[in-house]
Amino acid sequence: MLGIARRRLGSGCALGQLMQALRPAAAAAAARTYSAAAKEVSRFDEPLLLPPLLYPWARCSGDAIGKRAASMTVREALNSALDEEMSADPSVFLMGEEVGEYQGAYKISKGLLDKYGPDRVLDTPITEAGFTGIGVGAAYQGLRPVVEFMTFNFSMQAIDHIINSAAKSNYMSAGQINVPIVFRGPNGAAAGVGAQHSQCYAAWYAHVPGLKVLTPYSAEDARGLLKAAIRDPDPVVFLENELLYGESFPVSAEVLDSSFCLPIGKAKIEQEGKDVTITAFSKMVGYALQAAEILSKEGISAEVINLRSIRPLDRATINASVRKTNRLVTLEEGFPQHGVGAEICMSVVEDSFEYLDAPVERIAGADVPMPYAANLERMAVPQVEDIVRAAKRACYRAVPMAATA
């Protein structure tokens, strides 16, 4: 990455000097010994059973290919997307804490340092404000940085660069400056990490004109949307979920093709239905599908929409579904006030109010900082049974909450 920057910018410029100053600190950080690394047992360390001609980094046997070739974890999907985009475009580079020598805190960047070298996979010091600013400056000059936050909670240290520098520059320059940068990392609640490491930032960043906000659920989402984000000329906030990294999803030959890319701003109907629409994103899509299966046994046909993109929001798909089912349940794990569900509800009220046969049901995280205790944490995050109850209320299959108060 530094080599590219020198050729594009010249070593005498401010950005080049910053990058050169960063290298010794990054090298010092990389020299640390991670004793836990040898003990770590990760699903990513298992043999990756995908066609070796498509994925030369995969370890697989001929017998195994037929068994698991049709599935891929979210971790593998993200890794392969980064690998292919870096291979296709030398201006793409990855930077962040522990992305190189340690191969990523969640092993998303495994193998990339060996393949592309420290100029394009850059370990940074623990200074989000610093390396995010460097990434935005590199994007100003035509490079395509992928900035990894170990958790999006840490992006608050760099939020000025993300919003005031990246998001607004195209508008403030009358379209003369593009900022092709991706900010990616785990978002939302994990497990037992407390209030300061459990926030969902979908609504935060979706509030800002100039940003695109993507929220993958499956391996197909992760692979196709990350490729789209890297190729996009504008800044993209890419919100992953730590608990989904090890989840395996079926993938088609089309998804495995290096040219595969998903459109930004287009939702996916994961399951068709006729009685109630359930909108969800990221990990909550899986919960919605589980709830839909339970509802089907009780005669309720639920349509599940995987939003994929929070900004831009696919209002057309949402409204078309509501006009068919006449009922809506919105689902998110973030705080309820000014949330994604509130925006979806308003969109339906504006465009499809006369089609509603029941009040909109909104399911969100509790309006409190995330508790640390496991039992309280579960109560603070939406559960499958919450979705089932809300869908029944919308379909008048249960006693309204007000009647039981």
pLDDT (mean) for 387-405: 79
Sign of CA dihedral 343, 347, 348, 349: positive
**Rg, Å, the chain Cα set:** 22
At residue 400 the predicted structure's pLDDT band, cuts being 50, 70 and 90, is: low
Q: What is the model's pLDDT at position 304?
A: 98
Classify 283 as helix, strand or coil.
helix
The two tokens of residue 208 are 């800002």
- Per-residue pLDDT at 174: 96
Confidence of residue 344 (pLDDT cuts 50, 70, 90): very high
Would you say residue 65 has pLDDT above 60? no
Determine which one of 85, 97, 98, 128 is catalytic: 128
pLDDT tens by residue, 205-225:
999 999 999 999 999 999 999
Q: Who's near 19: CB < 8 A, 6+ residues apart?
A: 1, 2, 5, 134, 138
User: Given this model, what pLDDT does residue 17 score?
Assistant: 52
* CA 111 to centroid of chain Cα atoms: 21
- Give kind and range of the element (H or E) at residue 268: strand 268-271
Q: What is the mean pLDDT of residues 298-326?
A: 98
Mean pLDDT of all residues belonging to the chain: 86
Whether residue 11 is predicted with pLDDT greater than 50 in this model: the reply is no
Hey, what are 68's tokens? 């698991």
Whole-angstrom Cα distance, residue 207 to residue 311? 8
Element at 146 (helix H, strand E): strand 144-148
pTM for this structure? Answer: 0.84
What's the mean pLDDT in 24-45?
38
How would residue 15 be classed by pLDDT, with cut points 50, 70 and 90? very low
Dihedral over alpha carbons 385, 389, 390, 395 (to 10 degrees): 140
- Domains in the chain, ordered, with CATH? 71-256 (3.40.50.970), 268-395 (3.40.50.920)
Residue 343 annotated to the active site? no
Burial call 368-391: b when 16+ CB within 10 Å, e when fewer: eebbeeeeebeebbbebebbbbbb
CA atoms within 13 A on the CB side of 172: 10
Residue 54 above 80 pLDDT? Answer: no
128 belongs to the catalytic site: yes
Q: Encoding tokens for residue 101? A: 């020598």
For 150-186, b/e burial (b = at least 16 CB within 10 A) is bbbbbbbebbebbbebbbbbbeeeeeeebbbbbbbbb
Who contacts 158 (Cβ-Cβ below 8 Å, separation ≥6)? 128, 129, 132, 133, 149
pLDDT, position 218: 98
**pLDDT of res. 402:** 52
Q: Which residues pair with 95 in a beta bridge?
A: 122, 147
398, two tokens: 């249960």
**Which range is least confidently modeled, 14-18, 82-86, 347-351?**
14-18
Of the candidates 197, 207, 247, 293, the residue annotated as catalytic is: 197
Q: Which pLDDT band, with edges at 50, 70 and 90, does 397 fall under?
A: confident
pLDDT per position as a tens digit, 259-292: 999 999 999 999 999 999 999 999 999 999 999 9
Beta bridge partners of 276: 302
